[in-house]
Structure 1
C-alpha cells in the first residue's frame, strides 16, 4: 500500500488556472499568426514570439501546429455552442449577428476572425485530420441550432416544424458564413446596412411557419 508521502498530488486550482491561461495565450497568438502568415507559413517560432514565450514552453502544451489548430476548432465550437445555448424566442438575433460582423471587420484576434475561418476551411480541404475535426464540430453546431429551431416556444425554442428545420439551419449558417466573406471582400459595408438587410430577412426565417 502506498504511503501518503508517495501519493501524487493533483495540480492545485491555481496551477490549473495558470495552465489554462497559458494555453489561451498560445491560441490567441497562433490565431494571429495563422491570419497573418497562413497555416503553412506560420512557424512555432512565430507563434512563440507573438505569445512572448519560448517555443519549448509551447511544446509543453501542444505537440505541434496541428494540435494547436485542433484546439482552436474545439475552442470555436465551445464558443458557438455557448451562444446557441443563450438563444430563446426573445433573442435579438439581428443585433447578435451584426455584432459578430463588426468583430470580424475589426479582425479581433481573440475571436475566430473571418480570415481565420477561411484559413480553417481551406486547410480542411488539404489535411484529413483537420477536415475530420471541422466536420465533427460543424455537425455538433448544426444539431444545437436544429434543437433550438425545433423546440417549442415554451421551451425557449422557435417551434419550427421538423420537416423545415434542416432547411432553416442551412439558410442561417449560409447567411452567417456569407457575412464572414463580406467582412473581407466588402470592407466598406456598414453594420447598419447589415442590420437593415437582416431585419428584412430574418423574421421570416425565425417564425414557426414559413
Structure 2
C-alpha cells in the first residue's frame, strides 16, 4: 500500500499509530479474557503455559519491526508517547487485576507494579532480542523463561 493511500484512511502518522496501538490492546484484552475462565489457583500455570505463544508473537519480524518503529516515534514525538503511555496504563490495569487474583488484596500495589514491570521488561525486551538473536534456540528459551515467570509469580515475599 502506498503512503498516499494510507492517508486516505488516516489523518496523520499519529492516527495510524493510535490504530495500531488500539489493535494491539484489543488483542491483549482478548487474551486476558481467557483468564476469566481459569480458577485463581491455576493462573500461574496458565501464564507459564502461554509462554510459547508469547515468544512466537514477540519473535515475529513484521510485528517486531512495526513495534520498534512505533516506540522510536514515541521517543521523538510527545503525542505518540502519550498514546503509548495511555495504552500502557490500560495494559497495566489488566495485569494488576490478574495479579490481585493470584495474591489477593493484601499485597501492596507498588509490589504488584514492580512485578508487572519486571515481566514487561522481559517480554518487551524480546522485541530487541528478536532482531539481535533471531536464531536463538526457542525451546531452550521457553524452558528458562517458564522458570523465570513461575519464580516471579510464585515468590510471596511481600
Bin of the TM-score, shorter chain as denominator length:
0.7 to 0.9
TM-score w.r.t. structure 1 length?
A: 0.62
Equivalents in 2 of 1:106, 1:134: separation in Å? Answer: 20
Equivalents in 1 of 2:114, 2:12: separation in Å? Answer: 38
The count of aligned residue pairs is 148
- Name the counterpart of 1:23: none
Does residue 178 of structure 1 match 2:125?
Answer: yes
- Name the counterpart of 1:165: 112
Q: How does 1:46-195 map to 2 (within 5 A)?
A: 55=5, 58-87=6-35, 88=38, 89-90=42-43, 92-107=46-61, 109=62, 113-151=63-101, 158-159=102-103, 161-163=106-108, 164-195=111-142
Q: Which runs of 5+ in 1 are unaligned?
A: 1-28, 30-42, 46-54, 152-157
Q: CA RMSD in A?
A: 2.2
- Assess if the C-alpha contact under 8 Å between 2:48 and 2:150 holds in 1: no
- Name which one, 1 or 2, has greater alpha-carbon Rg: 1
Q: 1:106 to 1:114 in 2, by over 3 A?
A: closer
Report the structure, 1 or 2, having the larger helix content. 2
TM-score w.r.t. structure 2 length?
A: 0.81
Q: 1:186 to 1:95 in 2, by over 3 A?
A: farther
**Per-residue deviation at 1:92?**
3.2
Instruction: Point out which structure has higher relative CO (alpha carbons under 8 A, 6+ apart).
Output: 2
- Assess if the C-alpha contact under 8 Å between 2:58 and 2:123 holds in 1: no
Q: Which runs of 5+ in 2 are unaligned?
A: none
